[in-house]
Amino acid sequence: MLQVILSTDKPALTRLERARRSSLRDAERVAARILADVRRQGDGALVRYARKFDGLDLREVGFEVSRGEIREAHQQVAKGFVGALRVAARNIRAFAQRQVPREWQSSNGAGIRVGQIIRPLDRVACYVPGGRFPLPSTVLMGVIPAQVAGVKEIVITSPRPAPEVLVAADVLGIRRVFRLGGAQAIAAFAFGTKSVPRADKIVGPGNRYVAAAKKLLAGECGIDFVAGPSELVVIGSRGNPRWIAADLVAQAEHDPDAIAIFVTSSRALGLRVQKAVQQMLSELRLPIARKALARQGAIILTPDLDEAVEIVNRLAPEHLTLLDDAVRFLDRIESAGSIFLGGCSPVAAGDYASGTNHILPTGGAARLRGGLSAADFVKAISVQKLSRRGLARLRPAIVTLANAEGLKAHAYSVDVRFS
């Protein structure tokens, strides 16, 4: 049963907040051993872990998927699948194109010009989970922004890539798909092995061991962010209870640890949503969603929507839906991974085809950043050019500050140009 909590019940709200902060400590201990093994033994460790965790013999099937397997995958996907991919890809690409930082130059005064140039990363690895469901949409979300940014080589890794994943990669022109998953896949692309190229950055969602590996390697290899269980918060006091329930249930079917919360000032609507959720779970027979909603699902009753907004900003959820009567609060939302406005904007639209990215921060990380974007795949490099006159104008400030820091050679490097 989806629990109903009063916003005045501070202990219950605290328990809910703590439940969404999945601990990576145990996973980190396991991941650390795997990372060390891959660093020391390379391909040998990858072969051993693939056999242990994925039931794959990489020596027999190969580290990479063959072109023949990809051609066969095209025969296995549903009719209309490629067309749907192209619709989604077009919208994702258009959105990503607006995200690339621009090069610019500007004068800071006589004889001083500053600016930035943009350079793409050389190689990116996109991790696609191989768990309960095939996730071709994650291929689109990871690959397209990197392509828009101009990344020179993009590879995909997935422990047992489904036909839909292989076809999505092929439609996007990706030629290298690896059969690696878990923490060992992250290690392989962070360090590089004989069979696996080292990547500048690794992006994409995964289980807690993937998240732990990314966290441990963040200083050695670029990552997008450490992502935990998926989250949705819906706020509003007027809306269709079945639509609201459908979004909560859809979020909960991701994972037993997924979080789905409805915050409302209408007790009547809250109870109708609770009833609709129960009916939907029975109709659709979704054991994973039922488990997630029983553990981390909630309806929070507030005296007004102003308090609902405060709760949202405290949670900083991955997905946030503002129902029609709550859209007016958009300017007051400070932290969320992706926001959906109005009753006809289901989260599933952003998951697949509206164009926004579904690789998003969780566990409160939306306080620090938004979702994956084309800007994550480039380097913005500062550039400056000073004339002798321009340097002369700055000389007093540079020399004074350098001497204040005790860096005499810094000061001298400027003064020597005028001696």
How do the pLDDT tens digits run along the chain, 419 residues long?
Answer: 788 999 888 888 888 777 666 556 788 999 999 999 999 999 999 999 999 999 999 999 999 999 999 999 999 999 999 999 999 999 999 999 999 999 999 998 889 999 999 999 999 999 999 877 889 999 999 999 999 999 999 999 999 999 999 999 999 999 999 999 999 999 999 999 999 999 999 999 988 899 999 999 998 899 998 887 899 999 999 999 999 999 999 999 988 889 999 999 999 999 999 999 999 999 999 999 999 999 889 999 999 999 999 999 999 999 999 999 999 999 999 999 999 999 999 999 999 999 999 999 998 889 999 999 999 999 999 999 999 999 999 999 999 999 999 999 999 999 999 98
A 10 A CB-CB count for 145 gives 30
Strand ranges across the sheet with 123-127: 177-178, 153-157, 123-127, 201-203, 222-223
| The architecture CATH gives domain 25-227 | 3-Layer(aba) Sandwich (3.40)
* The pair of three-digit structure tokens given for residue 346, joined into one six-digit string: 């289901």
Helix (H) or strand (E) holding 272, with range, is helix 267-284
A 10 A CB-CB count for 133 gives 12
pLDDT value at residue 19 = 67
Reported residue count of the chain is 419
Q: Do residues 235 and 260 lie in contact, with contact meaning Cβ atoms separated by under 8 Å?
A: no
Q: Rounded to the nearest 5°, which phi and psi values hold at 3?
A: -75, 145
Q: Which of 319, 334, 405, 410 is catalytic?
A: 319
Q: Which of 231, 253, 318, 358 is catalytic?
A: 318
Placement of tokens 């060992």 in the chain: 184
- Does this model's pTM top 0.75? My answer is yes
pLDDT value at residue 119 = 98
60 is a catalytic site residue:
no
Q: Do residues 136 and 165 lie in contact, with contact meaning Cβ atoms separated by under 8 Å?
A: yes
CA 212/CA 332 separation, integer angstroms: 33
CATH fold of the domain at 3-22+229-355: Rossmann fold (3.40.50)
* The pair of three-digit structure tokens given for residue 82, joined into one six-digit string: 């490629």
- Of 71, 205, 70, 196, which Cα lies nearest the Cα of 130? 205
Residues of the chain with CATH 3.40.50.1980: 3-22+229-355, 25-227
pLDDT value at residue 26 = 80
318 is a catalytic site residue:
yes
Q: Do residues 129 and 53 lie in contact, with contact meaning Cβ atoms separated by under 8 Å?
A: no
